[in-house]
Amino acid sequence: MSSTDLVALVLLLLLAAYTCGGGADFGAGMWDLLAGDRDRGARPRSLVDYAMAPVWEANNVWLVFILVVTWTGFPPVFEAVMSTAWVALTLVALGIVARGAAFAIRKPTHRVARRRHLGIVFGLASVLTPFFLAATLGGIASGRIPPGNSKGDPVTSWLNPTSVLFGILGLLAAAFIAAAFLVSDARRFEAPDLEAYFRTRAVVSGSLLLLVMAGGLLVVHEDAKPLYDGLTSGPGLGFAIAAGIFVLATAALLRTGRLRGTRLTAVGALASLVLAWGMAQRPYALPTTLTVDEAAGDPNTMRWLIFVTIVAVALIGPALALLYRLDLTDRLAADHDEDLIEATGAPGR
């Protein structure tokens, strides 16, 4: 395996990680948005807030990694994608600002109306941001982004059948993994009603995900034949089938109440989905105008990139493990609100 292939694989795995970590994060925002009015939505929302708070920042850093590895390892791809699909990606940038700020600021905000407004901003940005990101990937996959500075169509590069399909898949995948994670969180916080609440949602969004995956093949057949060929043969097909099996396994485990493996199977489903796409468009970085090898940066840089990745894994792995461990063993707790409310004797407690 050449260093270029290795960097390409690293990039795919980073995308898979962001789909899972960022997806759980965005998905939680969607469930927050869909939780209904103040009374009905209060409990699910509090679970979302409580479960997401300690890890959400770490999740979004995957995106920065993806950007950095793309512009360092495959500079022409970065140039082409960012300059052609700029409408969608500018909206992504704005969505990320609005979402992050709304979430961070909502925590210590006490006025109810303000909290609700911030909550709506957070929820809407949680839907739009992943949609536009996935739609851009759809533009790449269907060969609508040519190399060069702004050489493709600024609208149809991300607004086309394959992009819409990718966008919907992205939303469903995010909703699915978030709901699956929240079931375990609900059990951890001993809230059986919420466990059932999110179990239903995980199963429904998982079923929809399977349906759209299968139906999507028809769309891709019409809209992006090379991608269709890649998805119906070889490793592309293998990973697509694996994704389906993982979704089914997650739903089955959730229904029987055995939650131990559900986080893993949900991650497996989304990672397989990303890998299926990556494998299907080989050997192209930008189908069908630029191959991965043509796009690769200087060989010295590629070797350094692998080295930096190894260092990163060696340092971040343990830290991330510690974060999740402390979080899962309940040794992390939001600090700002409760004590202060206790101290002031504010109403509502």
Partner 1 sequence: MMLGSVLADGAVLADGPSQLLPAREQMAFTLMVHVILVPFGVALPLITLVMNYLGLRRKDPVAIQLARRWSTVMAIQFAVGAVTGTVLSLEFGLLWPGLMGKWGDVFGIAFGIEGWAFFLEAILVAIYIYGWKRMSPRAHFLVGLPIPIVALVGAFSILSVNAWMNTPQGFELDSAGNPTNVDITQVLFTPILAPQYLHMIAAAYMVAGYLVASVYAVGWLRGRRDRYHRLGFLVPFTVAAIVTPLQFMIGDALARQVFQEQPVKFAAMEIVWETGPDQPEYLFGRLQPDGSIDGGIRIPGLDSFLAGFSRDTVVKGLTEAPAADRPSIREANITHFAFDTMVGVGTVLLGLAFWFGLAWVRRRDMPRSRWFYRCAALAGVVSVVGLEAGWITAEVGRQPWVVYNEMKVAEAVTDIGAGPIWTSFAVVVVIYSLVVWAFLSVLLKMKLRWRHADAETARAGLPPDIPQQAVPVERDEVAR
Q: Is 21 near partner 1 (CB under 8 A)?
A: no
What's the closest the beta carbon of residue 229 comes to partner 1, in angstroms?
29
Task: Restricting to residues 32-61, name those near partner 1 by CB under 8 A.
Answer: 53-55, 57-58, 60-61
Q: Which stretch binds partner 1 (CB under 8 A): 90-98, 169-177, 227-235, 252-260?
A: 90-98
Q: Is 124 near partner 1 (CB under 8 A)?
A: no
Q: Which of 9, 34, 42, 67 is close enough to bind partner 1 by CB under 8 A?
A: 67
Q: Which of 124, 204, 208, 323 is close enough to bind partner 1 by CB under 8 A?
A: 323
Q: Is 86 near partner 1 (CB under 8 A)?
A: yes
Residue 40 tokens read as: 């009905």
Nearer to partner 1, 102 or 273 (CB): 102
Q: Is 105 near partner 1 (CB under 8 A)?
A: yes
Q: Is 322 near partner 1 (CB under 8 A)?
A: yes
Q: Which of 28, 51, 82, 186 is close enough to bind partner 1 by CB under 8 A?
A: 82
Q: Is 15 near partner 1 (CB under 8 A)?
A: no
Q: x-or-dash pattern for partner 1, window 279-308, by CB under 8 A?
A: ------------------xx-xx--xx--x
Q: Is 312 near partner 1 (CB under 8 A)?
A: yes
Q: Which of 101, 191, 208, 237 is close enough to bind partner 1 by CB under 8 A?
A: 101
Angle at 274 (CA atoms; ends 268, 275), nearest 5 degrees: 85
Nearer to partner 1, 1 or 343 (CB): 343
Q: Which stretch binds partner 1 (CB under 8 A): 94-102, 173-181, 205-213, 254-262?
A: 94-102
